Amino acid sequence: MQPVIELDSLSVQFGSVRALSQLSGSFSGRAIGLLGPNGAGKTTLIHTLLGFYKPSTGTARVLGNDIRHQDRAARSLIGYMPERDSFIAGMTAVRFICLMAELSGLPKEHALERAHEALYYVGLGEARYRKLESYSLGMKQLAKLAQALVHGPRLLFLDEPTNGLDPPARERMIKLIREIRDTGEVHVILSSHLLRDVEECCEEVLILKDGQIAQYCNLEAERRANRKFLEVEIRGDEASFLNGVRRLGCDCGPGSKRRLKIILPPERQIADLYRLAVEHNVQIRHLDYKKDSLQDIFLKAMHGMPPATLQGADHGSL
């Protein structure tokens, strides 16, 4: 399978500021998530792959096209939904989407037909003759998605597609992204600061921090591996039990209120912990079993801490 994105020691520098530093990797998933805090380099990476910025060193390939020497060929395969609105004042939705299709190389008659189809697909068919400035925030996001799809791209860049949306509008957007992914005809690169969006839509995740790759995660492989993340409350000699758990090959660390965070490797079972507790005269008073979450992986990448040492929280915005 041809990689969707290949990064080859890619660096981008603006004056004395290095925005991206020596990014390398090959990514082939149907939907790839870009995560990271503000300023991590997510949008810079997208803009570089689109050809807006030239690499300072290294290069990248988009569906096999080198962005240094085949940037026009690469762009012809891409649909781009920007984070910020980029509409033209006074235009109706269908006229704007038609214009975007023409700029992508479609003949005018074909472009108009595709504009109608794209607007119906995203749910704006009844509002396609309204001016874009009269649209709500959720409708504007859908119009941006329509213009990214209108020319039939093979790769879709989505930069914060659910930004500012209320729950029903967000659910509609996520459903559309998953439908596009599941066709198998379009690869999706989703950049977001919302872990939940990435976890619901993506198979691979690239986490950036300070312009570098902090972590790569194949979510499908993680789900198949079914690593066991446990929170265990004990009574007895905590230090001795903790050392014994580590000798079993588990990643672990102290939590709060005499609770331990433990990641059980595949070859170990919960029964091993109970046997260890008997050996060390320790009582296991409570044991909570759950899988590693994307939040655990993200926080580990941001802080360099094993997931077992991190306090749990629901999946949200970081």
Q: Note the Cα 125 to chain centre separation in Å.
A: 29
pTM of this structure:
0.74
Every domain of the chain with CATH number 3.30.70.600 lies at 228-291
Amino acid at site 76? S
DSSP state of 159: E
- pLDDT tens column, 216-241: 888 777 766 556 778 888 888 888 88
Every domain of the chain with CATH number 3.40.50.300 lies at 5-222
pLDDT cut 90: percent of the chain above it: 61
Q: What are phi and psi of 60, to 5 degrees?
A: -150, 160
CATH superfamily for domain 228-291 = Ribosomal protein S10 (3.30.70.600)
Residue ranges in the chain whose pLDDT is less than 70: 223-227, 255-257, 289-293, 296, 301, 304-318
- pLDDT tens column, 286-318: 887 665 567 767 777 677 644 333 233 333 333
Tokens standing for residue 178: 């998953």
Q: What is the second-level CATH architecture of the domain 5-222?
A: 3-Layer(aba) Sandwich (3.40)
| pLDDT reported for residue 315 | 34
Tokens standing for residue 173: 């957007």
| pLDDT reported for residue 312 | 32
Nearest to 232 by CA among 206, 196, 258, 271: 258
